[in-house]
A and B are shown apart, each in its own frame.
Chain A
Amino acid sequence: MRTFDYTQEIPVVDGKPPAKSIDEVISKPLGTKPGKVWKALITVTTLMLLVGGGALGWTFYKGIGVWGNNQPVGWGFDIVNFVFWVGIGHAGTLISAILFLLRQRWRTGIARFAEAMTIFAVMCAGIFPAIHTGRAWLDGYLFPYPNANNIWVNFTSPLLWDVFAVSTYFTVSLVFWYIGLIPDFATLRDHTDNKLKKTIYSMFSLGWRHSTRHWQHYEKTYMILAGFATPLVLSVHTIVSFDFAVSVIPGWHTTIFPPYFVAGAVFSGFAMVQNVLIFVRQAFDLKHIITINHLEKMNQVIIVVGTMVGYAYAMEFFTAWYSGNQFETFTFINRALGPYAWAYWTMVTCNVILPQLFWVKKIRTTIFSMFVIGVIVNIGMWFERFVIIVTSLSRDFLPSSWGMYTPTIYDLGILMFSFGLFFTNVLLFVKTLPSVSIAEVKAVVDGAQPSHKGGTH
């Protein structure tokens, strides 16, 4: 039996590819014509986008009554999807910012991709608060702008905090992502002889010449932005959780929500990044750059945050019982045994029970099993939001106003629209921009950095 040498760090990049080959491998999808698989995939995703867009259009034409939302359940798929997508976004920032600050070098292979997914996920998320309003054409009222009527927004409303939290998050993520892309744009500019591409790359590379001075500025900026983005990882989902925690509704009105939501967000985000990366490394021959080791590390994060989420579920029940508050107790018993029990147990199975399989090394290092569990986690996390929002609203204080919520095809259509948007963006991204940071990977190739031990370490 081969013993594992724990004193040796696992190399971030398999083998020792020369810098030129890294350039070529990563930028290859950008220069080649799309393959059949890519075309098939984008056909599917744009179809989802179009059909879902039809559902959205019908909603604008008729009113949001075409959805299943009703009097006790004022929020349904709309806000479930919003929280879901914001959550997906969290992995990107966590990987690119927090892991960067913690000097986790294994992040280099996946950071760019994760960041891009953050941006796309936040775009998807941003749609929902905008369209969920009854009069979407008046959404501008949500922004504090000076106006003749002297009407200001209501700063005590968590929904307004959301507006700021999400827009800040999107802006910072975008800037962070773009700064990281500048050296790569320069590399691409230098490699291409297509005039149009050269012009575009030149524009976006902002005159980058790979000079030491540039690198110095770059590293500092990147560090500062990473520092800037780090609190956002915690704040955005904390504020999203305030939408619920600040209310009076049993099942919403609870202080555990901020950490619980952040853990859940990282949980689902990592699962989504892991899922998509599996495809990307397969499709673009990046297996030596995005290694099994990376994926395993992600799975390890998944099991940690998944267990935190499971703990939160347990604590919610404990608090409900321990508080002696009959409304709270009823809400939680109703979640587990009431008409939406199926949703609750789907959530528990997907989020708490099945991810435990990752304790087995074989499962967390096998592509197929980790992919399946990743999908399951995302299903579970979507249901978590459904359970929190719908079951709490459907049976609150007065039994006279209880009512069930049933989504319609338009709800499903708009959910499909968001997935269509997300994956279309992902597909366009992998064909137009380097999905792995060229510059950073070069820096983590074995031997790229000077070592006091000399040679390989």
Chain B
Amino acid sequence: MKGDKLEDKDNKKDVNYWRGFRELKNDPEFLEAKKNEFAEELPLDSNEPGMSGLSRRKFLTLLASSAALAATACSDYRDKGAIVPYNRKPEEVTVGAPSFYASTCTSCANACGILVRTREGRPIKIDGNPDHPVNKGKICATGQASILDLYEPSRIKDAMLKSGAGFIASNWADADAKIIDELKKTAASGKEIAVITHTVNSPSLKILFEDFSAKYNTAKFYSYELINDTNKFSAFKKSFGREGLPVIDWKEAKVIVSLESDFLGKEGNPVESMRLYAESRDVMKKDGEFNRLYVVEGGFSVTGANSDYRIRLRTDAIEEFVYALIAAAGENKSDINGLISKYNLKKEAALSLVEDLLANKGKAIVLAGNALPESTHIAVNKLNDILGNTKLYSKESFDAPVMPLTPREEIEALISRMNSGSVGMVIHFDTNPVYHFSSDYKYPDALKKAGMVITMSEQINETAELSNYALGISHNFEGWGDFKPRTGVYSLQQPVIAPLYKTRQKEAALLNWMTDNPGNYHENDYMNYIKTNWEKGVYGAAGAKSDFKNFWFNSLHDGVVLFNEKTDGTFSFKNEAFMPAPAFRASSDAVVILNKSAFLGDGRYANNGWLQEIPNPISKVVWDNYAAVSPAYAEKLGVKTNDLVEITTGGRTLKAAVFVQPGMADDVVAMDLGYGRTGAGVIGNGVGFNSIELIQKNPKLSDRLYADGKITKAGGTYELITTQEQYPIDHERYNDIHFKREVIREGVYEEYKEKPNFLKEEKGETALFNIVPSYEFTTTKWAMSIDLNKCVGCNYCVAACNVENNIPVVGKEQVGKHRHMMWLRIDRYYGGKSDDPKVSFQPMLCQHCDNAPCENVCPVAATNHSPDGLNQMAYNRCVGTRYCSNNCPYKVRRFNYFNFRNNLADGYYEQTSLSLMHNPEVTVRSRGVMEKCTFCVQRIMDERQHATQEGRPLDGDRVRTACQDACPTNAIVFGDLTKKDSEIVKHRNHELGYHVLEEINVRPNVTYIAKLRNIKPEKKS
């Protein structure tokens, strides 16, 4: 009121200066309007049609801020390099969209079908080819990680010529001229041209070899494998008169007996056998019956860890055990009882094994490991035959290499010819015999007398170092090939990237040496060669209706061609092969078994950091092999883990570090092959111990099994690094701690059948409540389920996760400091006592808890929850307090203590070629940032984008995480919980489903399906 009066007074004062009659008359309406200085509204946020909606002020604000932003952007301290426009876009490439190419994996002789994911022309990920009948969309850890070899910085980038102690860069033209000249001279002089290769499972390569020896008539081809199935093959041939090994009908096998056979780990094609084994372990199938797995072994394999009954028996006594089973099959159980007391076997397991074998005639299978002697394999064939189990052998479908491996005697003959100077040229066709051959052969000495030595290899290796030429060959992804791993299965290998360097694929190099015009070399030479062969062979056999061009492109697209190949039907056991009653050795010496390394193949992947860093599935040791002994044997020898021992067999000694492995048979030493390399490269050199030194030229049992071992303490120690702490499992405080804590929950199959709800009843319903209302996930909620019945602990998912998510390699020292970076790990727990533990595996990854304890402690909100239920990390926001990791009950968070790419071996993995490998959809994390499993959020976003583009709702079933894609047994299921009919909902609500650490109420979103052991329930007495 007071104000009004004042105003009135003022108005009266200014009465002389009126602007109109309304003012003069003091019109109240006018006076009111006059208070406002601007009669019209200020154009702060202009909404006028035709205008951009931008006010002058806002425009100026934006102008100023973008100028400021531009200024700060210019002063960025990081050098981001040049940006090159993609203005000459290749056909088939869409920027940002991956392309997939079907090809074949050449990591081992199994030749699995693969799909290579490429982005902007760069291969970044390998998955199995779902159309391939053998591996069905899955691929092993080694195959997954082989992508690193393509981008390996130390690859040979051209033809290299030996000069003094090292190599100097040469070129292919010079090399070709000299080599062809030498080939001609050698052939003319009648001296031998020896080509040494690995398993040949490529039909075209076989033809190429034939053509090559037609051109140079002294050429001979030798193939060898360090890890071979020779005994198995020869035993099968002697027993049944057939080449190759028949495919087994796993579905019908109710009882599986593995004798030192790691079919779930390293033998045969484990990708296939794991899947087929786990198909009979499916709790989601209501009528599905479980198979029962018995393992008799001296070492401790993944298969043994998965067994229902495991019998520890020194490996050289397995043959005796088989003979006792044969006797038991003839109703004579005295032998088996004798053995039980002789070797102190687990009685109930051994008797149950006999009982089950007899009760399941024709529905059981006995498998012998490929390290066992031929005679054992023959006895196993006999056992399978008398039990009628050969019914499970396929009569049509066989696994066999296109060319059989060269017998041992022929290799020996070659070497003596080399020594006598009658070999003019040796061509190592991507092989490394200097490392692989038994030292008995004295192969390096023989090489010196062999004229010209050529080694084709991706990297300089032990053999290349002793050669005149080291020829850089292309990676699998840069070349062509065809393969025939099984009857009626042909697959193709195609390049997915042009050769990164001046390399040639080894077949093309050989082909080029056969032409008169080597200067006309073209990348596609070998493709044309294969095409010609296919037109002549496969095309006709497949009975395709289209023309060859179409057939070829379709085959290339599918990666695999299947057709009915005629094989002769039946076969029967030849009794003359079987020796009825051999004299069994009763050695008290140690048994030495040499096993295939879990991930390094025969050592050729020793320079692959990812593979070195994936822990051994059982021992969890990384970056090393070791002499594994049982706790009792270690005590007898007076050694403990990390002590050095000397292993002596047949006059050879090897110093190696001991690892006390619970569950090994006593008096057995198990070592992995493929370590201790000297010519592998920066990463692989000097990792572990070269156990090939123990291999004999003419072994009594088999090249990987010796029964005359002597172990003595050598003094000194060598540090072995494990990713899991070795707490004393026999100690009361730690015994079965994973069961007590309900981290692992298990049941017995029969009891589950009677009482399906036992798991829930065991614990009762716990009422967990929140003090604040829980967030309702209405649109999408991501969740995962892992079926522990199917998980065999193979670690393939770990490899897939590493590749997909750009996980750095940290090195042995950093793993030793508990700083490995793997987002997904397979936890291995030992239950029971250390002499014969019960193993449980559990893949552990971020549980994406609803009440995530990591989220509320982050001071900067760098880790938070998405509306679709993901626990997410904003790397840019993370300052690295590590509070989240401390507060994570599952300890799945990983911290970049260094810039790990820069930290290992002077930044070995930070070199330019490797930056091409990274998945562009996933941020490469730098130092000081926390990271963890994202549930492959990039794949979720990809599906979200597709759904939006196609105008449909998001379909959770279409999102597959990398680990899920890789899991050979399909144990991992991922999806959207709000979609009620999805697989994930079924799994999550399954009666065997449980969450780890349920009671701390963090509400994890990974459901584990409790493992059921198919053991016979204890008889109620």
| Chain B residues positioned under 8 Å from A330 (CB to CB) | 733, 737
Q: Does B632 contact A (CB under 8 A)?
A: no
CA distance A393 to B818 in the complex (A): 13
Interface string of A94-112 (1 = CB under 8 A from B): 0000000000000000000
Binds A, one of B99-107, B568-576, B759-767, B894-902: B894-902
Interface string of A325-355 (1 = CB under 8 A from B): 0110010011001000000000000000000
CB interface residues, A 288-337, toward B, < 8 Å = 326-327, 330, 333-334, 337
Cβ B861 vs Cβ A65 within 8 A: no
Q: Does B503 contact A (CB under 8 A)?
A: no
Cβ B887 vs Cβ A63 within 8 A: no
Cβ B885 vs Cβ A398 within 8 A: no
B827, B859, B877, B897: the one within 8 Å of A63 (CB): B897
Classify chain B's interface size.
35 or more
Closest to B889 in A: A397
Cβ B856 vs Cβ A157 within 8 A: yes
A151, A326, A396, A399: the one within 8 Å of B861 (CB): A151
Cβ B879 vs Cβ A138 within 8 A: yes
Cβ B857 vs Cβ A246 within 8 A: yes
CA distance A141 to B889 in the complex (A): 26
Binds A, one of B110-118, B704-712, B738-746: B738-746
| Chain A residues positioned under 8 Å from B893 (CB to CB) | 71
Interface string of A58-80 (1 = CB under 8 A from B): 00001111011111111100000
Q: Does A248 contact B (CB under 8 A)?
A: yes
Cβ B858 vs Cβ A157 within 8 A: yes
Interface string of B809-840 (1 = CB under 8 A from A): 00000100111100001011100000000000
Known contacts A63-B899, A133-B928, A404-B725; is-contact A160 B859 (Cβ 8 Å): yes
CA distance A290 to B733 in the complex (A): 53
CA distance A406 to B817 in the complex (A): 8
Q: Does B886 contact A (CB under 8 A)?
A: yes
| Chain B residues positioned under 8 Å from A398 (CB to CB) | 741, 743, 827, 844, 889-891, 996-997
Min distance, Cβ A336 to any Cβ of chain B, angstroms: 11
Interface string of B869-893 (1 = CB under 8 A from A): 0000000011111110111011101
Min distance, Cβ B618 to any Cβ of chain A, angstroms: 14
With a 10 A CB-CB cut-off, give which of A75, A154, A249, A398 has the most chain B CB atoms: A398
Min distance, Cβ A99 to any Cβ of chain B, angstroms: 34
Known contacts A63-B898, A157-B859, A247-B857; is-contact A134 B927 (Cβ 8 Å): yes
Cβ B890 vs Cβ A397 within 8 A: yes
| Chain A residues positioned under 8 Å from B725 (CB to CB) | 399, 402-404
CA distance A152 to B853 in the complex (A): 19
Q: Does A24 contact B (CB under 8 A)?
A: no
Min distance, Cβ B873 to any Cβ of chain A, angstroms: 13
Cβ A63 vs Cβ B927 within 8 A: yes
Q: Does B718 contact A (CB under 8 A)?
A: no
Cβ B858 vs Cβ A69 within 8 A: no
Cβ A249 vs Cβ B829 within 8 A: no
Q: Does B930 contact A (CB under 8 A)?
A: yes
| Chain A residues positioned under 8 Å from B825 (CB to CB) | 400
Min distance, Cβ B268 to any Cβ of chain A, angstroms: 30
B733, B856, B1000: the one within 8 Å of A156 (CB): B856
Q: Does B86 contact A (CB under 8 A)?
A: no
Known contacts A74-B885, A401-B890; is-contact A142 B880 (Cβ 8 Å): no
A142, A156, A337: the one within 8 Å of B879 (CB): A142
Q: Does A163 contact B (CB under 8 A)?
A: yes
Q: Does B584 contact A (CB under 8 A)?
A: no
Min distance, Cβ B727 to any Cβ of chain A, angstroms: 7
Cβ A158 vs Cβ B880 within 8 A: no
A67, A133, A243: the one within 8 Å of B880 (CB): A133
CA distance A136 to B997 in the complex (A): 34
CB interface residues, B 973-997, toward A, < 8 Å = 996-997
Q: Does A19 contact B (CB under 8 A)?
A: no
Cβ B819 vs Cβ A134 within 8 A: no
Q: Does A362 contact B (CB under 8 A)?
A: no
Cβ A139 vs Cβ B853 within 8 A: no
Interface string of A134-159 (1 = CB under 8 A from B): 11101101100000000111101111
Known contacts A72-B818, A74-B886, A402-B727; is-contact A134 B895 (Cβ 8 Å): yes
B741, B743, B860: the one within 8 Å of A141 (CB): B860
| Chain A residues positioned under 8 Å from B861 (CB to CB) | 151-154
CA distance A281 to B890 in the complex (A): 53
| Chain B residues positioned under 8 Å from A74 (CB to CB) | 882-883, 885-886, 895
Known contacts A134-B882, A139-B879, A152-B861; is-contact A248 B928 (Cβ 8 Å): no
Q: Does A385 contact B (CB under 8 A)?
A: no
Min distance, Cβ A80 to any Cβ of chain B, angstroms: 13
Cβ B859 vs Cβ A142 within 8 A: yes
Cβ A154 vs Cβ B891 within 8 A: no
Closest to B853 in A: A248
CA distance A73 to B820 in the complex (A): 13
| Chain A residues positioned under 8 Å from B439 (CB to CB) | none
Cβ A159 vs Cβ B857 within 8 A: yes
| Chain A residues positioned under 8 Å from B18 (CB to CB) | none
Q: Does A132 contact B (CB under 8 A)?
A: yes
Cβ A71 vs Cβ B853 within 8 A: no
Cβ B891 vs Cβ A71 within 8 A: yes
| Chain A residues positioned under 8 Å from B891 (CB to CB) | 71-72, 396-398, 401
CA distance A65 to B859 in the complex (A): 21
CA distance A363 to B899 in the complex (A): 54
Closest to B929 in A: A134
Closest to B997 in A: A397
Q: Does B1002 contact A (CB under 8 A)?
A: yes
| Chain B residues positioned under 8 Å from A69 (CB to CB) | 882, 897
B880, B897, B1000: the one within 8 Å of A248 (CB): B1000
Min distance, Cβ B786 to any Cβ of chain A, angstroms: 15
Known contacts A133-B880, A398-B827; is-contact A247 B887 (Cβ 8 Å): yes
Cβ A248 vs Cβ B1002 within 8 A: yes
Cβ A399 vs Cβ B897 within 8 A: no
Known contacts A63-B899, A71-B885; is-contact A142 B860 (Cβ 8 Å): yes
| Chain A residues positioned under 8 Å from B727 (CB to CB) | 399, 402
Cβ A154 vs Cβ B858 within 8 A: yes
Cβ B883 vs Cβ A157 within 8 A: yes
With a 10 A CB-CB cut-off, give which of A151, A153, A334, A400 has the most chain B CB atoms: A400
| Chain B residues positioned under 8 Å from A334 (CB to CB) | 733
| Chain A residues positioned under 8 Å from B880 (CB to CB) | 64, 133-135
CA distance A333 to B732 in the complex (A): 12
Known contacts A142-B860, A151-B861, A393-B886; is-contact A65 B741 (Cβ 8 Å): no
| Chain B residues positioned under 8 Å from A71 (CB to CB) | 818-820, 885, 891, 893-895
| Chain B residues positioned under 8 Å from A134 (CB to CB) | 878-882, 895-897, 927-930
| Chain B residues positioned under 8 Å from A337 (CB to CB) | 733
A62, A73, A248, A326: the one within 8 Å of B741 (CB): A326
| Chain B residues positioned under 8 Å from A138 (CB to CB) | 879
Q: Does B343 contact A (CB under 8 A)?
A: no
Known contacts A135-B880, A248-B853, A400-B724; is-contact A159 B889 (Cβ 8 Å): no
Q: Does B734 contact A (CB under 8 A)?
A: yes
Closest to B928 in A: A134
Known contacts A71-B891, A133-B881, A135-B928; is-contact A65 B733 (Cβ 8 Å): no
| Chain B residues positioned under 8 Å from A158 (CB to CB) | 857
Report which A residues bind B (CB closer than 8 A): 62-65, 67-75, 132-136, 138-139, 141-142, 151-154, 156-160, 163, 243, 246-249, 326-327, 330, 333-334, 337, 393, 396-404, 406
Q: A71-B818, A133-B879, A248-B887 are in contact. List 19 more A-B contacts (CB 8 A).
A: A62-B898, A64-B897, A65-B898, A70-B818, A134-B878, A134-B882, A134-B930, A135-B927, A135-B929, A154-B859, A157-B856, A157-B859, A159-B881, A247-B886, A249-B886, A326-B740, A397-B891, A401-B827, A404-B725
Report which B residues bind A (CB closer than 8 A): 724-725, 727, 733-734, 737-738, 740-741, 743, 814, 817-820, 825, 827-829, 842, 844, 853, 856-861, 877-883, 885-887, 889-891, 893-899, 903, 927-930, 996-997, 1000, 1002
